Amino acid sequence: MFPKWFDKWNRDNPTDVFRPAIIIGTVGGAVFAATMLIAWGQPFATDSMQTGPRGTGMSVPEFTADLAKPDPDIELLIEDPPFVPEPGEALAKDIYQNVQVLGDLTDANFNRLMAAMTRWVSPEQGCAYCHGDGDIETYGEDNLYTKVVARRMIQMTQNLNEAWDGHVNANKQVGVTCMTCHRGQNVPSDIWFKMGDVNETMAGWSANQNRVTAQSQFTSLPSDALEKYLLDGEVIAVHDLESRVAGIPGTDGYPGIQQAERTYSLMNYVSNSLGVNCVFCHNSRAFYDGAQVTPQWATESLGIQMVLEMNNEYLVPLQDQYPPERLGPVHADAPKAACKTCHKGYQQPLQGTNVIKDWPELATTGAPDYGN
């Protein structure tokens, strides 16, 4: 069909016609997809929660598919309504020995709560996790540290539900139980310990940062933010609004760069703990102004104070009760809590599931309200 010289030239000069066709097709497909995205919008539905005034861009956008995906730990929750006490029923303190908390519960509700705590904290070890392998007659003994700690944790849970209602139930009744943190584990995930100087061979401020740690959210920010703000109770601050201030930053009444970096480290932690961005709490035009923040800012501020009390009044004082393997790897300190210990990456723990409705015994330090 073609002249001989043309066929010979083609044989002597082969050309790969497929490669440029593939490249052109790929580029053309990408251009077409980009054009469709611009013309028709994001194909994956998103939902935005407005956190501030309209027109300010203060919103938290999330994929609808992610919002529809439940926290897998919700599946571990079961309905377990209380037994309404009958007049004259025997109480746990009159039946069992050494019942220092929950003694005013009826036998049925006392054992119902003990069974639930086993599901929440030690589903594999069962009752023996706190009471040992002895007969039921030995359950009153305090031979295991786990029982001593559990007793104090019951008191802490009751206090959280009673004294910190403004944070725990800010939007609706949610409540706190052992399940909120433990999720079927002996030790809750996302607890924390003191880090100390993570760069021990370096002098100065650098000894607190520039090393990837969980506490710094794997950034170069300081690793002691949780310690300073959620244990020591230092003031969270970034800078002074004046351009020049007399005195020494950090010591003369206004924060220095170290406090600013610590604050950024803490804010990163809070954002990751709740799965939100900065404008969930702050007005992006005036981060510093407490009069322009969102309602969530007040809820979070209460949460910070709540965690301070948890750590200082309940968790740290238990240090002498723990065996060495349960203490921190650097300072042998007691495990402590923070936002992520409960929230696990969600705006509300267990996505706002009401976990307290079946457990009036944990809702107050006083007599439970069974609604009768």
Q: How far apart are CA 177 and CA 162, in angstroms?
A: 12
Residue 339 annotated as lining a ligand binding site: yes
Residue 114 annotated as lining a ligand binding site: yes
Residue 278 annotated as lining a ligand binding site: yes
Output the pTM of the full model: 0.82
Residue 343 annotated as lining a ligand binding site: yes
User: Under a CB-based contact definition with an 8 Å cutoff, are residues 265 and 225 in contact?
Assistant: yes
Structure-token pair, residue 330: 């650097």
Q: How far apart are CA 258 and CA 353, in angstroms?
A: 39
Region of residue 208 (left: phi > 0; alpha: psi -120 to 50; beta: else) = alpha
Residue 282 annotated as lining a ligand binding site: yes
Residue 239 annotated as lining a ligand binding site: no
Q: Identify the CATH homologous superfamily for domain 75-178+356-372.
A: Photosynthetic Reaction Center, subunit C, domain 2 (1.10.468.10)
Residue 156 annotated as lining a ligand binding site: no
Residue 317: partners with Cβ closer than 8 Å, 6 or more residues away: 334
Q: How far apart are CA 263 and CA 261, in angstroms?
A: 5
Which pLDDT tens digits describe the chain residue by residue (372 residues)? 678 877 787 777 777 767 777 888 898 899 888 887 777 766 677 777 777 777 777 777 776 656 667 889 999 999 999 999 998 899 999 999 999 999 999 999 999 999 999 999 999 999 999 999 888 888 999 999 999 999 999 999 999 999 999 999 998 999 999 999 999 999 999 999 998 777 766 666 666 777 778 888 888 898 999 999 999 999 998 887 777 778 777 777 788 888 889 999 999 999 999 998 888 899 888 888 888 888 899 999 999 999 999 999 999 999 999 999 999 998 999 999 999 999 999 999 999 999 999 999 999 988 898 876
Structure-token pair, residue 74: 């919700």
Q: How far apart are CA 231 and CA 338, in angstroms?
A: 10
Residue 331 annotated as lining a ligand binding site: no
Partnered with residue 49 across adjacent β-strands are 60
Residue 179 annotated as lining a ligand binding site: no
Residue 49 annotated as lining a ligand binding site: no
Domain spanning 190-343: which CATH class is it, in words?
Answer: mainly alpha
pLDDT for residue 156: 98
Partnered with residue 63 across adjacent β-strands are 46
pLDDT for residue 163: 96
Residue ranges of the chain that CATH labels 1.10.468.10: 75-178+356-372, 190-343
pLDDT for residue 1: 67
